[in-house]
Amino acid sequence: MAGRAMAPFARDVVLLKAGTPIPDGAGGTRPGPVTEHPCKGWIADYSDLSKLSAMRPMADRKLVILARTLDVDPTIKDHARIDGQTFNIRDVSTDPAKAAWKLQCFT
């Protein structure tokens, strides 16, 4: 229900999923192609108190993605793009109802 209530406020987000490593022929690997997963969400800021109490870096932001709009689970190896800005994902969690993914991000 919460996801449906927030849907009108959500913007276009693209989760950039890390590609499967590809052998480089020399015993190592190189990153495979990134896959794009469109979804809906919004960017928000943590309060200063929240940042201090959780020892979050002051520049980190919170990206909320409506779970029903995303066809994969995000990980800390992924990136997310919203409003022309790409974020690195530092931490991934979900709300108790699993209606939204909460991504702790930085640029």
pLDDT by residue for the chain (107 residues), tens digit each? 555 666 678 999 999 998 889 999 999 999 899 999 999 999 998 877 777 777 778 888 999 999 999 999 999 999 999 999 999 999 999 999 999 999 999 99
- Contact assessment for residue 52 and residue 72, using Cβ atoms and an 8 Å cutoff: no
User: How many structural domains are present in the chain?
Assistant: 1
Query: Under DSSP, is residue 90 helix (H, G, I), strand (E, B) or coil?
Result: strand
Q: What is the pTM of this model?
A: 0.83
State which residues form the domain around 75.
Answer: 2-106
Q: Which CATH number do you get for residue 29?
A: 2.40.10.270
